[in-house]
Structure 1
């Protein structure tokens, strides 16, 4: 029987300012951001407090073209809809640039209209209309600039990086157009970590240009704390932070931003994964689903948010089975949003009616849920506050929280909490996952910068050779430019320029010609995709029986399937994935989610991976998981397109986000992908600490 206790989080309020804009009235913290001096700016405010409106009001008041960057495509899409609504309420004319029925772009002649440009991999497929994607981007950005109207580009970091790295035709012209914007707004900045954070920061500073006279104003909309905040404070002397603390009781001129939430506290000191956990989570969801809510106008009646994709899939399957056995299952009741469901197949929440939505971190940000019931697990500060913030936004909420004992004990000590004190208690009891911001200023980050410079110096795609060619002389020069534009970066007293190593052209060229750098330049992106696997996935509740998507290679160990080549599925694979894979690429076909493997790694004694980051090759590295077919699958997925580093100090307690295989016969394990550079940095850091003792 699960151990549980209860507490309540009370309503939360924020103060209005005296400023109105059309139908909207700004909160005090929104006005503070609009009028703030400093660059960059950080707005630290709770979920539902209008961070987007604050940034939007600032850029419109100053008439500065802006790029809004979001971590996921789903969030970009949601924010396009939200921004149209906000601008309309501000009495602005909005022109969303799309292709009309004739195939032409929907450019407007209204000089007062605000152009919105929705640019992700998926939206670009439609905008390109079967033609050149680079040409489509160039045409849209060029025309919107020449019209001299206010324009806002909503995108993800990879789209900017792909243009920066020369993946699009006319990428030079595209980067010129991107440089014509004057503000860059980064939402949910705290979600980036390790090599992803490093690339994003380097790219951001490259766009800003001269650190003394930056070309871009930068705004972070995020609860940025810990080492990420230290990096920003150390690197940008003019940083300005705008914070708001919600009020516990209504006053004159206040607005409720959170409704009371009743919390059932259940102890889980580890991530949920077993069949017993599946059964309990499914029962918790159904118990809340069976309750009578105050009204029946909910799109989603119960939201379940869990840490593991495979666990979420199993919970959804279990809920469906129970409802089916009771004769209550209909196709619209149980839906899923997680990494195994491509955006094109994800449910439109507006089409749900009193449904059950089960997901992972994919539902943590951006979607404005209106749910009366919430079931969630969390073991760190950021994910807890994001997931908890999905409930109680528009009406009172009842929740079941699977959390570590320390937090459960602390919360159970009081029968009710103000939201501010509740948030403080969460910060005290849970760990804050490190972003490894110090890696940004380390010597080990040199290889990441080398690969970025090489990527940005690629020549046009050679059809005869089937790959890109690099201009190494240009890459060397660009590496020096990257270092100059990032010269202000420091973490505490540790400066990037002190650790980056030789800036001699011959030394840079020698380093850049290494296979490791070429592999990273060809396969690395902002959000880290070296460990992604092209897969055919059986997903319930989609338009077909299965979908094609990328999944993390580590999820393969949690399922059963077999390997084919992409060529046999080529007609069905979405165009956006065809850009990333070839017809001879391996494709993993998932059969079911009921069986998993436990892979281990063996590294040859003379393999360079024991001392430095190397390219994954056999027989230097051998993976085994007790199944010969799966062993071959893993090798084909990783060999010669991935990186590896053997970390002797790695153990089960090491940050779960670091992708690794445990050793077959000794301590430690193999870290793969661009996280290998972070692992190498952590080893070097530990060695220096030991030398000082």
Structure 2
């Protein structure tokens, strides 16, 4: 067992509406860079940094993109409290599923929760399409500032013109006569195809956005077309604000690269021992975070056999509306990545599975947020000896030392941030462009769509990724392929 010191971050001398800002929050507020990469751990106050900058610079729309719906709903109440503390009246303009909703008119800031659930509720209430009802709400909104909490899928569908009245929607959200900010929160959770998709989208909306902020708990690499960012970090300080209490940390190996249903009995024993050592307060005494939904499901079944009525589940097999709220958590909580973000809990014992840097750091951050915590990381056995050497022989280390050991032992998930510059990006890029053109008009033939794309490419109307600029002729030839018409036809449906 290794003791991890509490983690404190530096304060600033700046005060905002009675709130003393932390150094990184003040740095974000004062930054003049249009592109910021913010490296700050979970629970450090990143949301306050976004909101303070939005209010100070009078951005018309602030769009905050979260990787999960659970995090959107969790952050809504936090943002409402922060805006109130900053002296601003906020008004929620979209209904929250299963809650009584009343549009109370105008305020200083309008809040929009925009995901599949809220859009579907809006459409049902107004008996029209999601796009039309969203546009109707926006047109009636006369608040000077707007904050949108959404996910990548909604943003991507919006700019792919998948909603009714999409062009008008975009202009109502990002009004041409105002300045706007886009925040991508928990950016380290994106990788592979999902990350490449976001980069594609950013390439085309960047001229509508005046301020970009990428927040991440790990090192973030951005594509060249976004420019050179200013990097701001939450610097540790022995006299700063405590954002993570002391941890008692240990780890153990698993036979493969990830846990499976074959490991249920051993996992169950580990949880049982942790529960017996916990204070048994009756709420989130032990929290378990696993990679596999099935492993989480069967572990919960095994624990229910011994601790009937004491197990809460938070994973993909539990519908969103049936997942317990933080105040409803039972003694044993079993979940997957759905627990990593959007669920705040005070646990005395955290057990998590990790096989890469991002998941390790993200899950570690869930422990010690409110009080000291014991933590067990379950990692691939092949990494145990290397990790042990990295940690060293000391009985006590700092959180920074622990995270350095993690980065030196575990691999990072592939980012594929260079995908935009590869030949495979040609067809994807043209398909995206064709979708926009095809959806921008009520009536347009495939030939007219191809002709429009051809003219736009020849006249440099589209900003291409740096790696594709030299292949403009290749893109034009791809447009003339017979099978490309079939792609456009499919996109138009």
Partner of 1:288 in structure 2? 274
Partner of 1:665 in structure 2? none
Structure 2 counterpart of 1:54, from 25, 49, 52: 49
Highest RCO, 1 vs 2 (Cα 8 Å, sep ≥ 6) = 2
Partner of 2:299 in structure 1? 315
Partner of 1:577 in structure 2? none
Partner-residue secondary structure (3-state), 1:135: helix
CA contact under 8 A between 1:271 and 1:307: conserved in structure 2?
A: no
Partner-residue secondary structure (3-state), 2:437: coil
Residues 114 and 459 of structure 1: CA distance in aligned 2, closer, same or farther (over 3 Å): closer
Partner of 2:75 in structure 1? 79
1:265 offset after TM fit, Å? 1.5
1:21 aligns with 2:21: no
Distance 1:40 1:154 in 2: 20
Distance 2:35 2:445 in 1: 34
Residues 292 and 142 of structure 1: CA distance in aligned 2, closer, same or farther (over 3 Å): same
Structure 2 counterpart of 1:135, from 132, 138, 141: 132
CA contact under 8 A between 2:4 and 2:246: conserved in structure 1?
A: yes
Structure 1 counterpart of 2:390, from 410, 413, 425: 410
Residues 308 and 176 of structure 1: CA distance in aligned 2, closer, same or farther (over 3 Å): same
Partner of 2:321 in structure 1? 344
1:365 aligns with 2:362: no
1:518 offset after TM fit, Å? 5.8
Distance 2:74 2:30 in 1: 27
Residues 275 and 453 of structure 1: CA distance in aligned 2, closer, same or farther (over 3 Å): closer
Distance 1:186 1:479 in 2: 33
1:502 aligns with 2:488: no
| 1:227-246 equivalences in 2 (<5 Å) | 229=221, 231-232=222-223, 234-246=224-236
CA contact under 8 A between 1:11 and 1:258: conserved in structure 2?
A: yes
1:154 offset after TM fit, Å? 0.8
CA contact under 8 A between 1:67 and 1:184: conserved in structure 2?
A: yes
1:473 aligns with 2:468: no
Residues 388 and 236 of structure 1: CA distance in aligned 2, closer, same or farther (over 3 Å): same
Distance 2:409 2:236 in 1: 20
Distance 1:289 1:238 in 2: 48
TM-score in terms of structure 2 length: 0.89
Partner-residue secondary structure (3-state), 1:290: helix
Structure 2 counterpart of 1:256, from 242, 258, 263: 242
Distance 2:285 2:339 in 1: 15
1:514 offset after TM fit, Å? 5.6
CA contact under 8 A between 2:62 and 2:182: conserved in structure 1?
A: yes
Partner-residue secondary structure (3-state), 2:149: strand
Partner of 1:580 in structure 2? none
Residues 275 and 203 of structure 1: CA distance in aligned 2, closer, same or farther (over 3 Å): closer
Structure 2 counterpart of 1:119, from 74, 93, 114: 114
Partner of 1:607 in structure 2? none
Distance 1:381 1:481 in 2: 42
1:9 aligns with 2:7: no
| RMSD (CA atoms) | 2.9
| 1:353-432 equivalences in 2 (<5 Å) | 353=330, 355-403=331-379, 404-405=383-384, 406-411=386-391, 413-432=393-412
TM-score in terms of structure 1 length: 0.64
CA contact under 8 A between 1:442 and 1:499: conserved in structure 2?
A: no
CA contact under 8 A between 2:278 and 2:349: conserved in structure 1?
A: no
> Which one has a larger percent helix, Structure 1 or Structure 2?
2
Partner of 1:453 in structure 2? 433
- Listed one character per residue, the Cα deviations across residues 8-57 of structure 1 (whole Å, up to 9, x for unaligned) are 21101012112222352210011101111212111111222111111111
CA contact under 8 A between 2:106 and 2:143: conserved in structure 1?
A: no
CA contact under 8 A between 1:284 and 1:400: conserved in structure 2?
A: no
| 1:255-654 equivalences in 2 (<5 Å) | 255-268=241-254, 270-293=256-279, 296=281, 299-323=283-307, 329-330=308-309, 333-353=310-330, 355-403=331-379, 404-405=383-384, 406-411=386-391, 413-459=393-439, 471=446, 473-474=448-449, 477=452, 486-487=463-464, 489-490=465-466, 495-499=467-471, 502-504=474-476, 507-510=478-481, 513=484, 515=486, 521=491
Residues 480 and 415 of structure 1: CA distance in aligned 2, closer, same or farther (over 3 Å): farther
CA contact under 8 A between 2:258 and 2:355: conserved in structure 1?
A: no
Distance 1:258 1:266 in 2: 23
Unmatched runs of 5 consecutive residues or more in structure 2: none
Distance 2:202 2:83 in 1: 27
1:202 offset after TM fit, Å? 1.7
CA contact under 8 A between 1:459 and 1:470: conserved in structure 2?
A: no
CA contact under 8 A between 2:260 and 2:292: conserved in structure 1?
A: no
1:58 offset after TM fit, Å? 0.6
CA contact under 8 A between 1:302 and 1:372: conserved in structure 2?
A: yes
Distance 2:92 2:212 in 1: 24
Partner-residue secondary structure (3-state), 1:456: helix
Residues 98 and 274 of structure 1: CA distance in aligned 2, closer, same or farther (over 3 Å): closer
Distance 1:421 1:187 in 2: 25
CA contact under 8 A between 2:261 and 2:294: conserved in structure 1?
A: no
Distance 1:341 1:143 in 2: 36
Partner-residue secondary structure (3-state), 2:333: strand
CA contact under 8 A between 2:7 and 2:399: conserved in structure 1?
A: yes
CA contact under 8 A between 2:8 and 2:244: conserved in structure 1?
A: yes
Distance 1:15 1:499 in 2: 48
1:63 offset after TM fit, Å? 1.1
CA contact under 8 A between 1:272 and 1:311: conserved in structure 2?
A: no
Structure 2 counterpart of 1:169, from 161, 164, 173: 164
CA contact under 8 A between 2:203 and 2:225: conserved in structure 1?
A: no
Distance 2:11 2:229 in 1: 25
- Listed one character per residue, the Cα deviations across residues 641-692 of structure 1 (whole Å, up to 9, x for unaligned) are xxxxxxxxxxxxxxxxxxxxxxxxxxxxxxxxxxxxxxxxxxxxxxxxxxxx
